[in-house]
Structure 1
């Protein structure tokens, strides 16, 4: 069992019958029992196991199969040892402990678990009908090496398979009815009985003989035998001999009958106890069948979960693979981004330089444009002045006006040609400058 698995716990009850015959023994232990797939047993020392503890009961929990476990084995467990108060249960003596069982410390407990005086105090309820009841509750925290589930299941199945032989038959024993009586000494009458007494005695004897002997018949039968044994008439010789023989053995007969009654009572008590235990055993067997069915269901569910887990793991692996591919793709994009980011920085620097040069060129262009645009404006003003001066003469000489108009148009055309030539020259200089940069 690993640490992160659910804790395994269990309880075991040990009934020690005829405790008085064992209290002088140095040490004795319970049968091995299983909790959490591990074998355990309870060990007690009725007179203590150390010097100075002879007045106390020593009790320990022991790993039963420690000698067969591999090297490095370990059982980490918390356990509670109890001497049960069989009368009320309130005064039960309990001590809890936690221990890591190993090869060198395969048993652990208490040398002075409880005082022998307290144990044998009849008012405490620890010893009832010469029986002591001990209990242990174990909770396992760690088992190394882990107990294989299949091994534990095989052990349980094997045990209950062997147990099923008890239920092959009906489980009921044939009982034979017994009779009961008590003994009483027959007082013989010294005088011969009368004929009437003899008849009554014979009638009483017949009534007793017609039924099974019971204790309440003892007085009647004793009186009848006493009377008939002294009868001189009314009985055949064989009847007289039978009466004399039975009367002589009457005390032994009653004693045997009482013994039978006692033994029969013991038998009935043992039968009731046995039937009760049989019922408990049968109930446990039926319960384990339901446990086995539940276990099979859980096994199927576990297989389905394993299948589902396998599918989930497959999806998880695929997701991780896609994730890695995405990471690799992102790394490539990241590298390309770094390269282009560097190129962008360089291009940005070139753009700034070009903007500065363009700004200077634009300034020169604007200056040139301003000069030519201002010159054209001055020419327009001069033309307006000439026109104003020539207006009086227009009416006198139309031909002269037309001549002046043609001259003005030619002058303007020449100015435009010069302006266009200058612009083309500047533009060619600008292109050459850009190419040289």
Structure 2
């Protein structure tokens, strides 16, 4: 039953034939425990859950007098005879069915007080054992939905039975029940942030490594460019020196060319003048040789010869000297011309 909104109450209807000794009928589930224990759901209020059961008997089968089967609940031999018990049970069923048929007021199943206390203590003991097991788990295990649900169930069971604990324990259980969902949610949020940050950091680390590699490559290229620029400047300086030297040589050649042209013109002019001089030079050289020979013979003549002979020699020697001087003068002029 929903204690805050009756329209949200959950109902289940079914037809079933009840038989003696059978206890396996029912609904496996009504709603999830998280929904049941939701403090705003209205199903559990002040630790109390209300369950209503309406039973309508449509038909009553006669009780079987046969011996119970192997699956029947054994009876105590010390009790009354089977026929007496069967008759009493039949009367009870008929009376209960009659009351149900004339009244549609719901009947609420209530535990007998004497039986409820042991049951509560057993559930609390089981919940405490399960709680002690779960509380030892690390948070990354408790965020597992299965363990989280189990912890919530244990806490709700313990909170519903705070009277079994001391005041300090009751406060801790109540505080933990209130904080546990927040702790789990904050853990999940933090894990999500961590995963997101790790992913971002991992991506950034890869990008950073790529950037480092790119910068290193660029640095190597930059060094090569600087070396090439230095080499280029050196080559430019060498080229400029070569160009300057080339220009100097060109100017020098032009000057020499002018001189060559002048000398060439002079040589052409002189070449015209010396045509036929080779034969004349050869004749002069032969003449000089003859003069040398004659001079050698003159040096052997003695001044003790007769005066006639001396006079003859005088006139002959004088003639020889004049010829010799004429040839030498001609040869010197020729050499001067050649030098110019």
Q: What's the TM-score, normalizing by structure 1?
A: 0.32
| Higher relative helix content | 2
Q: Which has the higher Rg, Structure 1 or Structure 2? A: 2
Q: Which has the higher strand share?
A: 1
